[in-house]
C-alpha cells in the first residue's frame, strides 16, 4: 500500500469519473455535512456577541466570565452523562433530585459527622453510581420506560434530600472542599494583574488541540478518508485556538482558571473521546439508532443501558458536590429543575429524542447557550418570568431547525 498517496490521487484511484467535480464541491459538501456543528458554534458566538453588545461589555468582563463558568459547570457535567442516556434512547428526569440529594449527603457527612472531604467525596460518587445502577436496572432489565423510572426517582430523591437535611440548610463545608468550586489553579509566576500560569495553560491546550487536529487530519488523508478542505481546517484551528487563548487571557486577568473548569475540560475531552472513538461509545449509538439491529449484531443492549445510567448517576453526584461546594451549604431546594436545563442543553445541542443522534460537543455548546442566555438576561435585568419564556422558545426553535434540516436532507 502506498502510504503517501495524496488526496486527489486517492479519489481518482477509486475509479469514480466524477472525482474531479467532487473535489471542487468538497467545501460546500463538507459545510453541508457538518452544518449542524458549525451552526451551533456560530449560534453560541452570535448569542455571546448579542449580549456583549446589549450589556455594554459586562458579559465578557473577566469577573463575569469566571462566574459564567462557575454557574454552568454542574449543568455541563450532567449534560455529558445525559447525552449518553439520550443517545441510548432514554431520558433521566431524576438528575436534579439526585444532585440535591448528594449535596445533602455530602453536607451530612462532612458537617455533621466531620468526615474528611476525600472519603466523603468518594462515598458520594459511589452513591451516585449506585442510584444510577438501580434506576438503570429497572430500565434495562425490567423494561420499564426510563421516563417513568426516573420520574419516580425524581420524587424519591427529592424527598430523601429533604429527610436527610430535616428541612434545614446545612453548612458551611470544610474550606478544602470549597476549593472544588471556588478555587483557582495556583499561580507559579508573579506577574502583576495576570495569572500567567493560567494563560500559558490555555495556550498550551490550544497548541495541543491544533497539533492533535493536524495529526488526525494527516492520518485521515493517509487512509484516503474524506476530510475537510485545508483552508477550512486552518481557519477553524486558528479561530478556535485564538478564542481559547483569548478566554484564558480574560480569565487570567481575574483570578485565573477555576479548578472546576479544569475538571470540566478533562471530562469533556474524556467523553468526546469515549463517544467518538471507543467501541462502547459506538455501541451506544448503534443501540439508540436501531436497538434490534444492534442486538442482532451481538451487542448487549441491556448492559449498555445500565452503564449509561450508572455513568449518569456518578456525574449527577459530581455535579451535586460542585453545586454544594459553590453555595457552601446544602439546601433542600438544591438541584430543583436542573434536569430541565440539562435535557434542554442536549436537545439544543442537536441530540435526537428518539435516540442514536447527538454529540458531546453539541451538548456542551448547548449548555453554554443556555448559560450565556441566563447570565446575559440577568445582567439586563429581565425578570425570571420572561427568562423562562425566552429559554423555552429558544429550545423549541433549535429543535425546529433540526427537524427542518432533517426533512430537507
Name the residues that contact another protein, by CB under 8 A. 14, 219-220, 222-226, 277-280, 282-283, 285-286, 289-290, 292-300, 356-357
- Any alpha helices (H) in 88-145, and if so which ranges? 95-107, 117-140
CB of 24 to another protein, least distance (A): 15
CB of 129 to another protein, least distance (A): 20
How many whole angstroms from its chain centre is CA 409? 27
CB of 292 to another protein, least distance (A): 5
CB of 8 to another protein, least distance (A): 15
Which residues face 330 on adjacent strands? 170
* CB-CB neighbours of 297 under 10 Å: 11
Which residues face 191 on adjacent strands? 194
User: Based on CB atoms, which residue is closest to another protein, 356 or 371?
Assistant: 356
User: Based on CB atoms, which residue is closest to another protein, 255 or 282?
Assistant: 282
Distances (CA, A) of 193 to 64, 179, 359: 17, 21, 38
CB of 287 to another protein, least distance (A): 9
User: Based on CB atoms, which residue is closest to another protein, 192 or 277?
Assistant: 277
User: Based on CB atoms, which residue is closest to another protein, 225 or 393?
Assistant: 225
Whole-number Å distance between alpha carbons of 109 and 126: 14
Whole-number Å distance between alpha carbons of 272 and 94: 24
Report CA Rg, the chain. Answer: 23
Q: Is the peptide bond before 172 cis (omega within 30 degrees of 0)?
A: yes
CB of 229 to another protein, least distance (A): 15
User: Based on CB atoms, which residue is closest to another protein, 226 or 378?
Assistant: 226
CB of 15 to another protein, least distance (A): 9
Task: List the one residue out of 310, 381, 374 whose CA is nearest residue 348.
Answer: 374
User: Based on CB atoms, which residue is closest to another protein, 228 or 341?
Assistant: 228
User: Based on CB atoms, which residue is closest to another protein, 11 or 64?
Assistant: 11
DSSP string for 306-328: HHHHHHHHHHHHHHHHHHHHHHT
CB 158 within 8 A of CB 97: yes
Tell me if residue 218 falls in helix, strand or coil: helix
Amino acid at each position: 500500500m502506498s502510504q503517501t498517496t495524496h488526496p486527489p490521487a486517492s479519489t481518482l484511484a477509486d475509479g469514480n469519473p466524477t472525482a474531479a467535480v467532487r473535489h471542487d464541491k468538497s467545501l460546500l459538501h463538507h459545510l453541508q455535512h457538518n452544518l449542524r456543528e458549525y451552526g451551533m458554534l456560530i449560534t453560541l458566538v452570535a448569542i455571546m456577541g448579542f449580549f456583549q453588545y446589549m450589556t455594554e461589555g459586562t458579559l465578557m468582563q473577566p469577573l463575569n466570565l469566571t462566574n459564567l463558568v462557575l454557574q454552568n459547570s454542574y449543568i455541563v457535567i450532567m449534560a455529558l452523562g445525559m447525552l449518553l442516556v439520550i443517545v441510548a434512547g432514554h431520558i433521566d428526569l431524576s438528575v436534579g433530585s439526585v444532585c440535591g440529594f448528594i449535596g445533602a449527603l455530602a453536607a451530612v457527612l462532612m458537617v455533621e459527622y466531620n468526615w474528611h472531604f476525600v472519603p466523603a467525596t468518594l462515598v458520594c460518587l459511589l452513591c451516585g453510581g449506585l442510584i444510577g445502577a438501580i434506576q438503570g436496572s429497572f430500565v434495562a432489565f425490567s423494561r420499564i420506560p426510563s421516563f417513568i423510572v426516573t420520574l419516580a426517582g425524581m420524587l424519591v430523591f427529592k424527598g430523601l434530600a429533604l429527610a436527610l437535611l430535616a428541612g434545614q440548610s446545612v453548612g458551611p463545608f470544610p474550606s478544602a472542599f470549597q476549593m472544588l468550586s471556588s478555587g483557582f489553579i495556583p499561580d507559579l509566576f508573579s506577574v502583576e494583574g495576570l495569572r500567567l500560569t493560567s494563560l500559558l495553560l490555555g495556550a498550551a491546550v490550544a497548541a495541543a488541540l491544533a497539533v492533535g487536529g493536524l495529526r488526525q487530519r494527516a492520518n485521515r488523508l493517509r487512509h484516503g478518508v474524506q476530510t475537510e478542505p485545508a483552508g477550512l481546517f486552518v481557519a477553524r484551528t486558528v479561530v478556535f485556538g485564538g478564542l481559547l487563548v483569548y478566554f484564558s487571557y480574560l480569565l487570567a486577568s481575574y483570578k485565573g482558571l477555576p479548578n472546576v473548569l479544569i475538571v470540566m475540560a478533562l471530562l469533556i475531552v474524556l467523553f468526546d473521546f469515549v463517544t467518538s472513538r471507543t467501541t462502547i461509545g459506538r455501541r451506544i449509538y448503534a443501540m439508540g439508532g436501531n436497538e434490534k439491529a444492534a442486538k442482532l449484531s451481538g451487542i448487549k443492549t441491556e448492559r449498555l443501558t445500565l452503564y449509561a445510567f450508572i455513568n449518569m448517576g456518578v456525574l449527577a453526584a459530581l455535579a451535586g458536590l460542585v453545586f454544594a461546594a459553590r453555595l457552601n451549604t446544602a439546601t433542600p431546594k438544591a438541584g430543583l429543575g436542573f434536569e430541565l436545563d440539562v435535557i434542554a442543553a442536549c436537545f439544543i445541542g442537536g441530540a435526537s429524542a428518539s435516540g442514536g443522534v447527538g454529540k458531546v460537543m453539541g451538548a456542551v455548546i448547548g449548555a453554554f447557550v443556555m448559560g450565556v442566555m441566563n447570565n446575559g438576561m440577568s445582567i439586563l435585568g429581565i425578570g425570571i418570568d420572561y427568562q423562562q419564556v425566552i429559554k423555552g422558545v429558544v429550545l423549541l426553535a433549535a429543535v425546529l431547525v433540526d427537524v427542518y434540516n432533517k426533512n430537507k436532507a
